[in-house]
Structure 1
């Protein structure tokens, strides 16, 4: 019996160097994508059709940047057509002038009160297959404050530390979610300011599950 064909993933990395895109791309290649046929690109010119239609999933490691109208339309149409989309951390601060990207992703970064080294718990919320059996984790990192689409299915959350903005203390903030965009499946995780946070076993497992779930024509239920 012939081996199953590997699913193709486009690993797109670049943008703001403060988020170390190359380091995270190396992490993805060695820890998340070993069972996939991976194409790497450091250029937003990869966001074009029909090129995107040749992949099952897009993994964009990209903060800030600007999309042309053509790139924006190609991306959103490809995802609506079934291309999976898995993003983390700075992806909620990508393409700030592109409101449709925020709509598709399901959220937007607006700040990380308390700075870069807040200690906080991340709790996995339900028995969704993406988080089932995962143990809650405590991380020391940026704690993102996000504006979140009420249509997402929240998979993990954290009580806000708040820092100097004390009125935010205790607010429950989504840390990971999944959603639909047309026929496409979209996943986002707010963790990932540094590689060590993503390299925490429960978080790595979550990302692996998310990639398998998001891929075009995945057999997994939504």
Structure 2
């Protein structure tokens, strides 16, 4: 039996490929000593016995709703030291109307700008924009992003509302555009960590689908982030 326990909670909007994206990281977790349990509902968070024995939660649940008992259990588990991690809409576009969840995660997706009107084709790629993920000064020295240079992606570029408790390891900047209503460039966090009680929270906003998560830089950041978030001293 492995020495650590990971709980993968997945579901919500299927366009973010919750099954396929979490399956991408199951071998990595197994190779790093995790026993893995998979749940298709956030109600598992209300099970105090399971949560107390969980070292890392990997969540991929876009949109959806969460019960009062589940969010209470999730917050209590993180405060007690369980790590909480995820990518893209599976963590920053989850449970939109629950303020307790938003406070825990420290950021909320609000938009991914589309291409210019003359480039719109009416398909899923309309929101895939070329952009850069910029490693911050903090990120250059952090174990999650150390050694990774600024890199380019063509995928959804998340505009995120956030607070100052986050330690931001990477950002992305939305340029001012004549076809959009904002008047100056807007920088959003793209990778951040957050301490909550004895627990650690890790978020990466790139990760719309398996193709993005297979990008060498994104995959390295997520894999390091999962290990970083796991309960301290559990290895």
The reply to whether TM is greater than 0.5 is yes
1:218/1:203 Cα in 2 relative to 1: closer, same or farther (>3 Å)? farther
Corresponding residue SS for 1:95: coil
1:200 aligns with 2:215: yes
Counterpart for residue 43 of structure 2: 45
Counterpart for residue 94 of structure 1: 94
Counterpart for residue 129 of structure 1: 143
Counterpart for residue 65 of structure 1: 64
CA distance in 1, matches of 2:30, 2:219: 11
1:5/1:146 Cα in 2 relative to 1: closer, same or farther (>3 Å)? same
Counterpart for residue 17 of structure 2: 20
More helix per residue: 1 or 2? 2
Contact 1:8 1:55 in 2 (8 A): yes
1:214/1:176 Cα in 2 relative to 1: closer, same or farther (>3 Å)? same
Q: What TM-score does the superposition give when structure 1 sets the normalisation length? A: 0.91
Counterpart for residue 187 of structure 1: 202
Gaps of 5+ in 1: none
Size of the aligned set, in residue pairs, is 217
Q: What TM-score does the superposition give when structure 2 sets the normalisation length? A: 0.86
Shift of 1:167: 2.3
CA distance in 1, matches of 2:218, 2:167: 17
Shift of 1:162: 5.4
Shift of 1:172: 1.8
Shift of 1:77: 0.6
Shift of 1:50: 2.0
1:76 aligns with 2:72: no
Contact 1:212 1:218 in 2 (8 A): no
